[in-house]
Amino acid sequence: MTVSTTIILRGRKVCGGRAEGEALVTRQTIPGWGGVNPVKGVITETQHDLRGVSFKDKVLVFRGAKGSSGWSAMYHTTRLAGTAPKALIFNEMTTKVALGAIVMRVPSITDLDQDPLDVIETGDWVIVDADQGIVEVVKRAAVRGG
């Protein structure tokens, strides 16, 4: 028996484009300068729940941005270093994350009709169509054929 495990979320385009990949989810805000190594593509902040985890090629699902004004320059650098996430899905709009998203040039969506942190789990397959403002979530169980 197959149970449908695809969920559709609708939101607002922050940066256009379409991408898909495996979700990396954190309920915490994401640090910029001083809390991330953009060349390696990992969070380095001590006590962060993603410390040491790579966000390269992931669909990053997170609360918002925090910390230094160097946020955009750090994530801009991930694009040059080839370590950027494939797409961003986030809840809280700030100047840091807006500027960061556009210089990273990755499809990005916010203001979703359901809390993405409740719906999406790390490992789910996520398709982000930012131009249409649509996020399609294929649950991990389905991805693994479960």
Residues known to be catalytic: 68
Farthest CA pair distance, the chain: 51
Give whichever of 106 and 137 is closer to another protein, judged by the CB atom.
106
Told to check if 46 binds another protein by CB under 8 A, we report yes
Q: Name which position in 25, 72, 84, 133 contacts another protein (CB under 8 A).
A: 72
Q: How far is the CB of 119 from another protein (least distance, A)?
A: 21
What is the closest distance, in whole angstroms, from the C-beta atom of residue 104 to another protein in the complex?
10
CA distances from 112 to 9, 36, 106 (A): 6, 26, 17
- Least distance CB 14 / another protein (angstroms): 5
Cα–Cα distance for residue pair 19/104, rounded to 1 Å: 13
Alpha-helical regions (H) of 8-139: 71-81, 95-104, 116-119
Q: What count of other Cβ atoms lies within 10 Å of the Cβ of residue 80?
A: 10
Among 17, 21, 22, 94, contact with another protein (rule: CB under 8 A)? 94
Choosing from 6, 18, 39, 132, the residue that interacts with another protein (CB under 8 A) is 39
Among 7, 42, 53, 103, binds another protein (CB under 8 A): 103
Q: Are 127 and 9 in contact (CB under 8 A)?
A: no
Exposed / middle / buried, residue 82 (Cβ in 10 Å: 0-12, 13-18, 19+): exposed
Can you tell me which of 17, 21, 64, 123 binds another protein, judged by CB under 8 A? 64
Q: Which residues bind another protein (CB under 8 A)?
A: 12, 14-15, 29, 34-35, 38-39, 44-47, 63-73, 76-77, 80-81, 92-96, 98-103, 108
